[in-house]
Amino acid sequence: MKANKMFSAKTLLLLALSLVMILVTACSKGSESATGTADEKNEDGTYTNNLTISYAGITDISKANLQDKFHKTFSDKFNITWDYNYVDWDSWGEKLRLWINSGDLPDFASWNYVNGDAMNYIDQGLFYKFPDDWKERWPNAAKAYESTGLGERLEEKVGGTYVLPRPVYFQNKPADPLLNQIGVIAIRKDWAEKVGFELKDAYTVTELMEFAKLIKEQDPGKVGNQLIPMSFNAGDILTGFVMSNNAHARVESAFYKGEDGKYHWGPADESTLTGLKLAQQAYKEGLLDPEFYTWKNSEGGDAFKVTGTSAIAGLGGLASYRQDMDTAMKKNLNLNSSDVVHEALIVGEDGKYRNLEQVNFWSSIVFSPNVSQEKFERIMDMIDYSVTEDAQKFLNLGFEGEDWKEENGELASLLPEGTTLEDKYPGRFEGLYVLGDDFSVINPAIKKEFRDRSVELYKEKASLSTEGGAMATYDWDFQLYTSKAKDQANFTYETEYANLILQDGDLETNWKKWVESKQSIVQPVIDELNNEFAK
């Protein structure tokens, strides 16, 4: 009996010691994962092992040389060999969805964040979960991450970090409040002068239609039967005609909380009909292209900057867009765009600017749940460095003294006029984490007049939208709410509106029938939102 007791005591002691060792080992592994010790470095701080890292993104690297001076400088710094997977814009969402669901996601990828999908993927363990104290290990990335607004809110819902939303602006925010960069147009100011049309910072749709009529009647550019007074595609119709009168006519803000504290569906508002009536009038009067609804992506802009057959086109608010237009007009039309282009805003018939408050993220970076700890740490080291001031200059400007210089605190480009770093080194990875929008505000490769005008119009948007509550504020309750009903009510509004504009019969009658036809899908969402968030 005594021996058995002694044996039991020894056994218990050994078990206790074994348990302690297991706990110590587990804690050690947890510490490695959190503090970044799996990735070996040399004494001089360089990385010991070359890692082949797979990445998926929408940057077209078909013309890139990943061994050129630019790409090699960055890959050598982090001792990385890239396995790059280009994803075409049109198939981006579907291809990533297939890779994620099948467990074939590359080590990390640029993913167009969709909240409902994110909840499902996280719940199924299809994204890598960051160490709890990752922000201490990578503080620069953490600051950029926190600036998005989405990151920390998402953490609260899912209990950790699984997604890195990509900041639109980080160090160079152009206005406060910041509104969506769409809603800016370009007009041919030389044609406007010939027909006696006043140049202003903002126009109602009615005023723009009056200009388009003058252009159609007088053809100041001598374009003939190729003339397209307003080269708008279906997306431009949504932005310019409809949203200028109702900020809640677009998918991102279609469900909104009204002054009564309850949720409504914006496309059913009378102000949506106002925009549709104007668009249909423009179509019937021949101010739009007869097949505007078939145009894809850049076709509307090409009529303005490539063929020179249009008087008005959508532009967008980024200075880089204006620079691209300048380059295209020089190349295709032998025109100096500063002489012939005027940028302005489209406002509602009451003179207010309506659009969405721009949440500070677009797309995201996600990691495969199977990525090794060593690769994860290496990638995060790279991302952390990429948001620093020095890295942003390199990623967006290239080599100091060769591609750019700094004089008296001002950046200056050394590239040939009208060219960008992308022309010299195609296939760059979009700044890796912070989007190029941020640097476009200060990028000397973009003409200062374009950068200054972009900031002016951002400030004008802020001024014209905050008066009278015209701005559609970003509703985090709605955006982070997930349900089957909400997923089903995800219409392609530009197509829906184009169909209404083209449909025979009375527009108001057709619109009311359309609204009624959507109620079986829309009303359950409204009911859920009111039950969850209404006052």
pLDDT digits (tens, 9 = 90+) for 289-325: 999 999 987 888 999 999 999 999 999 888 989 999 9
Local confidence band at 66 (pLDDT 50, 70, 90 cut-offs): confident
Pairing mode, strands 108-111 and 51-57: parallel
Q: Which residue has the tokens 């295209």?
A: 328
Determine the pLDDT at residue 386.
95
**Strand-pair partners of 517:** none
Pairing mode, strands 164-165 and 364-367: antiparallel
Question: What kind of architecture, by CATH, is found in domain 184-357+472-533?
Answer: 3-Layer(aba) Sandwich (3.40)
Local confidence band at 283 (pLDDT 50, 70, 90 cut-offs): very high
Determine the pLDDT at residue 455.
94
Percent of the chain predicted with pLDDT > 90: 74
Determine the pLDDT at residue 35.
53
Phi, psi of 353 (to 5 degrees): -90, 125
Q: What distance in Å separates the CA atoms of residue 318 and residue 435, rounded to the nearest whole number? A: 12
Determine the pLDDT at residue 179.
86
Which one-letter amino acid corresponds to residue 517? S
Q: What distance in Å separates the CA atoms of residue 405 and residue 397, rounded to the nearest whole number? A: 9
Alpha-helix runs per DSSP H in 65-204: 69-77, 92-102, 115-123, 134-137, 139-146, 150-158, 189-195
Determine the pLDDT at residue 378.
96
Q: Taking the C-alpha atoms of 89, 93, 96 and 102 in order, what is their torsion angle to the nearest 10 degrees?
A: -140
Determine the pLDDT at residue 374.
96
160: left (phi > 0), else alpha (psi -120 to 50), else beta?
left
* Mean pLDDT over each residue of the chain, to the nearest integer: 90
What is the pLDDT averaged over residues 237-259?
Answer: 93
What is the pLDDT averaged over residues 369-391?
Answer: 96
For the chain, which residues make up each domain, given as ranges?
A: 51-172+360-398, 184-357+472-533
Phi, psi of 391 (to 5 degrees): -70, -40
Contact between 216 and 315 under an 8 Å Cβ cutoff? The reply is no
Local confidence band at 38 (pLDDT 50, 70, 90 cut-offs): confident
Q: What digits encode the pLDDT tens for the residues 420-451?
A: 888 899 988 767 899 988 988 888 988 999 99
Stated length of the chain: 535
Q: Taking the C-alpha atoms of 382, 178, 116 and 519 in order, what is their torsion angle to the nearest 10 degrees?
A: -160
Determine the pLDDT at residue 31.
36
Domains 51-172+360-398 and 184-357+472-533 share a fold: yes
Q: What distance in Å separates the CA atoms of residue 456 and residue 480, rounded to the nearest whole number? A: 32
Q: pTM for the whole thing?
A: 0.80
Helices and strands in the chain, H and E counts: 23, 14
Pairing mode, strands 184-188 and 404-407: unpaired
65 vs 367, which has greater pLDDT?
367
535 vs 218, which has greater pLDDT?
218
Q: Which pair of tokens denotes residue 471?
A: 């701005």
For the cut 60, the answer to whether the pLDDT of residue 504 exceeds it is yes
Q: What distance in Å separates the CA atoms of residue 488 and residue 483, rounded to the nearest whole number? A: 9
SS3 287: coil
* Close Cβ partners of 96 (under 8 Å, ≥ 6 residues apart): 56, 87, 105, 109, 111, 112
What is the pLDDT averaged over residues 133-152?
Answer: 95
Question: What kind of architecture, by CATH, is found in domain 51-172+360-398?
Answer: 3-Layer(aba) Sandwich (3.40)
